[in-house]
Amino acid sequence: MSGSDRTAEKISWVDRDMPVMRALRERFRAETPLAGRRLSVNVHLLPSTVPLLSALRDAGADLVVCGSNPMSTDSDVAGWLGDHGMTVLAPGLDDLDGDRERLLAALDHHPHVIVDEADGLLGLLYAEREELVPTILGASVHTLTGVRRLHRFADQGHLRFPVIGIDGSPIKQLFDNEMGTAQSTLDAITRLTHPLFYGLRAVVAGFGACGRGIAKALAHRGADVIVTEVDPVRALWAVTSGFRVMPADDAAEVGELFITATGNINIFNGSHFARMKDGVTLVNAGHGNGEIDVATLADTASDSRTVLPLVTEYRDGRGRRRFLLAEGYPVNTAGSSGHPPGLMDISFAAQALGVEHLVKNASRMSNTVHQLPQEVQQHIARAKLAALEVSIDRQDLEQRQYDDQLSFAPR
Amino acid sequence: MSGSDRTAEKISWVDRDMPVMRALRERFRAETPLAGRRLSVNVHLLPSTVPLLSALRDAGADLVVCGSNPMSTDSDVAGWLGDHGMTVLAPGLDDLDGDRERLLAALDHHPHVIVDEADGLLGLLYAEREELVPTILGASVHTLTGVRRLHRFADQGHLRFPVIGIDGSPIKQLFDNEMGTAQSTLDAITRLTHPLFYGLRAVVAGFGACGRGIAKALAHRGADVIVTEVDPVRALWAVTSGFRVMPADDAAEVGELFITATGNINIFNGSHFARMKDGVTLVNAGHGNGEIDVATLADTASDSRTVLPLVTEYRDGRGRRRFLLAEGYPVNTAGSSGHPPGLMDISFAAQALGVEHLVKNASRMSNTVHQLPQEVQQHIARAKLAALEVSIDRQDLEQRQYDDQLSFAPR
Amino acid sequence: MSGSDRTAEKISWVDRDMPVMRALRERFRAETPLAGRRLSVNVHLLPSTVPLLSALRDAGADLVVCGSNPMSTDSDVAGWLGDHGMTVLAPGLDDLDGDRERLLAALDHHPHVIVDEADGLLGLLYAEREELVPTILGASVHTLTGVRRLHRFADQGHLRFPVIGIDGSPIKQLFDNEMGTAQSTLDAITRLTHPLFYGLRAVVAGFGACGRGIAKALAHRGADVIVTEVDPVRALWAVTSGFRVMPADDAAEVGELFITATGNINIFNGSHFARMKDGVTLVNAGHGNGEIDVATLADTASDSRTVLPLVTEYRDGRGRRRFLLAEGYPVNTAGSSGHPPGLMDISFAAQALGVEHLVKNASRMSNTVHQLPQEVQQHIARAKLAALEVSIDRQDLEQRQYDDQLSFAPR
Amino acid sequence: MSGSDRTAEKISWVDRDMPVMRALRERFRAETPLAGRRLSVNVHLLPSTVPLLSALRDAGADLVVCGSNPMSTDSDVAGWLGDHGMTVLAPGLDDLDGDRERLLAALDHHPHVIVDEADGLLGLLYAEREELVPTILGASVHTLTGVRRLHRFADQGHLRFPVIGIDGSPIKQLFDNEMGTAQSTLDAITRLTHPLFYGLRAVVAGFGACGRGIAKALAHRGADVIVTEVDPVRALWAVTSGFRVMPADDAAEVGELFITATGNINIFNGSHFARMKDGVTLVNAGHGNGEIDVATLADTASDSRTVLPLVTEYRDGRGRRRFLLAEGYPVNTAGSSGHPPGLMDISFAAQALGVEHLVKNASRMSNTVHQLPQEVQQHIARAKLAALEVSIDRQDLEQRQYDDQLSFAPR
């Protein structure tokens, strides 16, 4: 089988598990709701991304696609997309100098709609291409880190078009974040390091949807899981879920595997590295490459080397080894093939329908961050259930009315 | 030990597990934030309710308390409260004719603030005592059924004072609803019927927080759990959590234990009873006594009798037996002592702080349903964590700023 | 309903969940395999015991029944058995002075077969009624503590008739020990003390089948579970199952709930009491009343009193409270109705078939401790599966032969 | 990094997680308990095997090593072993014609002790090299399939030297079989096919230690798990563990993923293939390549092709696709790097100590299949616990005596 045949098979395999996207693409092809619209898309370039991009293109959009980070770019996929007529900006495919250059090039497409992994495109837009803002209908933002920032940006009165936050809605949080991150993170750690999870003392920083999924998955595999948090409600949730919760300084002393899933920075830093035992593994399953303070790790190391693919050993002055995975980038997209396609089917349907919603309704939407409408979320869930051959009940009239009025009698 | 000593011990035992309420009561006693305020409270009269009522009274409130349903009234507790100077309206303690009479009597207290289990007091207020509305500062509503209805009522423009919805906020949903309902429901079923959960085919109607907690708890005890739902997103969540999801008609044919947790009515009705096998158990763990259509169960039975305390056997025309627990009332408050006090510590702190918040801020609040403010929720969680001797991290300045601005570079 | 009607209902309720015993009793009634045999039975007198005793009687046996401990004797049941023609020796029913007297009276029945809960009857037989040994065909022993001792006794050459160890076989360990003990122990703790399991730091001593079941059930309810063990293989199993394992001295300092399930003595003793925090709960879910060193607890207390039914508070010199459940007797039979009848259906079928096997085969069996034959265990499982309407596969000829010869080729 | 450096790193990485083997190797090097002994070893040639082989060699043994199946042979490892002075018989390394030839060549080493993965070496020994039997001290057998056959062989009176069955003992069953198989099987399936486990309908054939581990791991990942069994006790265990149990014919109709873990043959065969839906995945996680009837799958296919590495698509006459992983060989050794080294540390310590035990004690052992002595198992567990920094309690004298005599009093 030739390399390009292998890539085609890989993409076709993924497509099997994405029935909602298949149906959506078919409708988009028939209705071309994005006809005449320019889209700039910032996204992980993995096999499961192809059905999203194909659906957007078949909907009539004029697309430029940018790989969201070098570690999450499958060059076979990027090549295949280029071969199939899409403009793809990705390491190895172009001679643009770096991430910033590629994002700027994507903006130079003069998009009507921006699809952003987090806030890379949008940040650069407002910082360096503000002249493009007036012609932008809206943007769709995939991750919670991006959504949180856009909320602040909107609160400060800066946002000048509507944004749909894909993250923050149940249709993404429950599936992609909690389940997808759990499966792909542990998959990647297993491939890269082959640990014995049973009995392992694991520390998970952050008990949001991603951290929760990871913590539960580790507990199910027999690990002794410790959670660190800054939010007391989530910390209490972790405690009452059976996890030990403690400050990161204390967790640093007992942990063997450390995983971040916070969307913030310096979660494990010099203060913690100094307390860690010999032989610990450091993993980011959150956002960007700043959750683990890699610079300090490198600066304080007497020695570093690659011991296995994507596994770097840093040895500190006392000879204690720390194994950093994927240079601190999210391990799930770097060290495995990302979330299972069967889940991305849901998230990418949300993404594609979010773009369609913007194109159809942007003029009537306020310049704030909007959740994907409830009925769109329900539509996706209904389509996925149908593909899984699951039927559910519907409320009858009396039941629908039941919540519509106050009762007179105690129940 | 005398009966009254036993009741005192029972209440004192509960108090051990409610450290947040103890601290709150102490502050309330010192600050008397409710001084001069009349409160009408509709609540389950169980041992764990006492710390709430004591805290409100010590805060200076002039209280009238009404038991929210006859099945959830512990007459020892009601008596003890009366002996300790509270006005208590409860079956057996007064000669009021029925639930409606008791609620009206509670309204006759001319409350400044209403604390409602669901919407019994508020419904009656708007239906029959509308003249009292102008002097009401606000209301605090405990359950989701009540909160949902108040939302509709407010949407329709009828609400004339602010309401705090205790339910719907994480501080209640995560703990009281999901964990508390799971523990108290299975506890009650065990006490009343002593089933073998391991291997039991159980059907849970509703995959909201309560249903989710019950479904997971049953699965942990070795049951084969089937979920029914009307909301496709929640149904998909149930499926991806490993549960079988099917229409209630299909579930009716295979289930052995049926539990409702929907907040709606007629969830299991004649259509389902007709399909059920001999010997099934029917349990409501949701709202009111309408989730199971008890009237139809009785009407279609050739025979019925009490076989064990709170267990009624209905035999249909073909001789098939259905065992109904607690006459269709929520089994957790009827058949056990309710949720663990250690959880009610959280919910009742929310309730008490909700009332204080209303008294202090009602004039500045819109006439809609409000969530308990984030910082109040965090305060409760922090207090509970402290009581559990759990410390957590705090974000540093750089981390706090990290979400405050858009990034320029991809991460 | 009269008291005796209520007892009849209680027993009839239990019978619903014991289909294997119902079928067995029917066969026994038809075949009377124990005709003319005298049996002395030492057993918990709970509702679920009735089908066992009825089956043995209907099999033709001449029975004397002795309640195995005062805390596990349901006086309604004992009375009902007496009213139905059985000779029952139980506290409150007779004027025998104590446990020893009752056991001796049971031996005075000159049994052909002894059915012993642990080794109470057999120990007394060899110590004080050795003249009865020659006419004894054999004995059936229910619990692991008893079976272990009988093994040593046989190893030392003292045993003079065959013993069937019901415990130690999969048909008992997997169901009664692991599942039954988990459900009934947590049920009893809940009824007696109403704890918040979610987030509770619980210590389980012993990771045999009973301890394992309890530890897993606690973890499922959100507790943070610590295990103590003396056997390194089981300790490693606990660690790799995700539990923290530590010496009891260390566990004593952090635990809030302590549960023993070891079959041995002094598991928690003065050394541990001295380290425990204020407010801990002490529970035995194993054997006898010696697992928790109650004498030392009492001796070192400055004060003790009953605060709730079956809950004794011991206050030490420093004012720290320890709450002991059921005076240190197994909490599951003392504080609830014991294991679910649906599981006792399996164990008591094993017990009844063990007695039948002894009567038919004792003369051909060595004077050692025997497991219940594999085919009898399979028969019970098959009957239970049938009652649960579960079908399974059977091996075909080729598959049966597959394990019968060495392979020539690597596979 | 050169290829050989990479292999060295790979082996060194594995060694980090095998502290028990490191200590054992050190003792073996000092004591050379196998000095002058010839060993023929049949084993998977994976990185984690190296510490076992190195330990045996350092113990003084004269080794010939044969890869147990072509799919479980890592050629880098085989090459590395050859480079380090061991005689390795493995596909690609030698010109022996097939598995049988390699095994015979291993026997031509005239071993004193045989270490067999299952019964490949032993079967061939008795069938074609019986003249070697008299000089053989004994054999150690790794898997349950092998152990079961040796038991039958011994029962039939054919065995002429003692065998130690590593499998069947807790030290292997609990860790390697249940935990190792679960982790490596799901890891391999994920790498090869990237499925969405959440919500997947999975069928596990066999509820022995391996199947149990797999079934539980799938349930933890959100799958809806069905179990098939032929043994009623294990089937009842599966049911009471919350799994649905049904005949394979019924399971075939609803499953999406099928995994065998039985140690037998034709578990999924033509009868089942005919009932399966389009798109199912077929996986063997048990023994050999006969659990799935691959020949029938091929014979009844209208078409077959490799769609991804180790994934073969068979399309039946009606166009329904079945995806077979690893040609029906155990997927965990074929599609991943096998069990986690941290677990093989335990199993290989058992294997190495089993060989030492044979060399020291064979003359005093009967010609049957022996379990690894209890104290050896405890020694391994103690060493592993020490490496994990876990301390446990020891019984005191009184506790040790407690089980040694019958009690006189009821407890």
Q: Is the pLDDT of residue D410 over 50?
A: no
CA distance D362 to D164: 10
Per DSSP, helices labelled H in C156-308 are 170-172, 181-193, 209-220, 232-240, 248-254, 270-273, 294-299
Interchain proximity D404–C123, CB inside 8 Å: no
In chain D, % of residues over pLDDT 70: 97
Q: Is B406 on the interface with C (CB under 8 A)?
A: no
Q: Which of D196, D224, D239 sits opposite B244 (nearest CB)?
A: D224
Q: D119-172 pLDDT, tens per residue?
A: 999 999 999 999 999 999 999 999 999 999 999 999 999 999 999 999 999 999
Quote the pLDDT of residue A3.
80
Interchain proximity C183–B193, CB inside 8 Å: no
Cross-strand pairs, B89 = B66
Q: Which of A149, A290, A388 sits opposite B406 (nearest CB)?
A: A149
Region C30-54: mean pLDDT is 97
Q: Provide the whole-model pTM.
A: 0.96
Quote the pLDDT of residue B44.
94
Q: Is A242 on the interface with C (CB under 8 A)?
A: yes
Region D367-374: mean pLDDT is 97
Query: Token pair of D305, please?
Result: 């092709």
Interchain proximity A171–B378, CB inside 8 Å: no
- Split at pLDDT 50, 70, 90, the class of A97 is low
Q: Is B5 on the interface with A (CB under 8 A)?
A: no
Secondary structure of B213-225 in the HEC alphabet? HHHHHHHHCCCEE
Q: Is residue A408 within 8 Å of B123, Cβ to Cβ?
A: yes
Cβ contacts of C401 on chain D, cutoff 8 Å: none
Cβ contacts of A385 on chain B, cutoff 8 Å: 232, 235-236, 239, 245
Interchain proximity D392–C232, CB inside 8 Å: yes
Cβ contacts of B196 on chain C, cutoff 8 Å: 17, 183, 340-343
Interchain proximity A196–D341, CB inside 8 Å: yes
For chain C, give me the number of helices (H) and strands (E)?
18, 15
Interchain proximity B410–A68, CB inside 8 Å: yes
Nearest-neighbour CA in chain C from B197: distance (Å): 9
- Split at pLDDT 50, 70, 90, the class of D409 is very low
CA distance B80 to C217: 36
Q: Is the pLDDT of residue A410 over 60?
A: no
Interchain proximity D407–C118, CB inside 8 Å: yes
CA distance C240 to A223: 7
Interchain proximity B403–A152, CB inside 8 Å: yes
Q: C270-329 pLDDT, tens per residue?
A: 999 999 999 999 999 999 999 999 999 999 999 999 999 999 999 999 999 999 999 999
Interchain proximity D9–A195, CB inside 8 Å: no
Secondary structure of D20-38 in the HEC alphabet? HHHHHHHHHHHHCCCCCCE
Quote the pLDDT of residue B410.
39
Chains that touch C (3 or more CB pairs under 8 A): A, B, D
- Split at pLDDT 50, 70, 90, the class of C335 is confident
Cβ within 8 Å of C, B 164-203: 175, 179, 183, 187, 190-191, 193-199
Nearest-5° angle of CA A292, CA A294, CA A295? 135
CA distance C387 to C380: 11
Interchain proximity A191–D187, CB inside 8 Å: yes
Quote the pLDDT of residue A409.
39
Quote the pLDDT of residue C97.
67
Chains that touch D (3 or more CB pairs under 8 A): A, B, C
Interchain proximity A222–C199, CB inside 8 Å: no
C-alpha separations of C88 from A241, C37, C115, C307, C338 in Å:
47, 17, 14, 33, 19
- Split at pLDDT 50, 70, 90, the class of C408 is low
Q: Which of A196, A222, A236 sits opposite C242 (nearest CB)?
A: A222
Of C224, C229, C237, which to mutate for an interface test with A (greatest number of A Cβ within 10 Å)? Answer: C224
Query: Token pair of B33, please?
Result: 């934030």
Cβ contacts of B198 on chain D, cutoff 8 Å: 240-242
CA distance C164 to A120: 73
Q: A247-260 pLDDT, tens per residue?
A: 999 999 999 999 99
Cβ contacts of B217 on chain C, cutoff 8 Å: 220-221
Q: Is B117 on the interface with A (CB under 8 A)?
A: yes
Q: What was the ipTM of the complex prediction?
A: 0.96
Quote the pLDDT of residue A1.
66
Of C393, C396, C400, C401, which to mutate for an interface test with D (greatest number of D Cβ within 10 Å)? Answer: C393
Cβ contacts of A222 on chain D, cutoff 8 Å: 179
Question: In degrees rounded to 5, what are phi and psi of residue C87?
Answer: -85, 115
Chain mean pLDDT for chain C? 95
Provide the residue count of chain D: 411
Q: Is the pLDDT of residue A90 over 60?
A: yes
For the residues of C323-348, what is the DSSP string, one character each?
EEEGGGSBHHHHHSS-S-HHHHHHHH
Query: Token pair of D76, please?
Result: 């880098």
- Split at pLDDT 50, 70, 90, the class of C194 is very high
Cβ within 8 Å of B, A 257-296: 263-266, 287-290
Quote the pLDDT of residue D336.
82
Chain mean pLDDT for chain A? 95
For residues B256 and D92, the model is more confident at B256
CB pairs under 8 A between A and D: 87
The ranges of chain B with pLDDT < 50 are 409-411
Quote the pLDDT of residue D98.
80
Nearest CA in chain D to B244: D224
Interchain proximity B198–D240, CB inside 8 Å: yes
Query: Token pair of C338, please?
Result: 């014991």
CA distance B291 to B270: 12
Amino acid at D117: E
Q: A1-26 pLDDT, tens per residue?
A: 688 889 999 999 999 999 999 999 99
Nearest CA in chain B to C278: B16
- Return contacts of A357-361, CB within 8 angstroms, 24+ apart: A357/A164, A358/A113, A358/A137, A358/A138, A358/A139, A358/A140, A358/A162, A358/A164, A359/A33, A359/A34, A359/A37, A359/A112, A359/A113, A359/A137, A360/A33
Which of A359-368, C402-411, D53-62 is predicted with the least confidence, judged by mean pLDDT? Answer: C402-411
Q: A66-80 pLDDT, tens per residue?
A: 998 888 899 999 999
Q: D311-343 pLDDT, tens per residue?
A: 999 999 999 999 999 999 999 998 888 899 999
Region A140-148: mean pLDDT is 95
Cβ contacts of A390 on chain B, cutoff 8 Å: 235, 239, 245-246
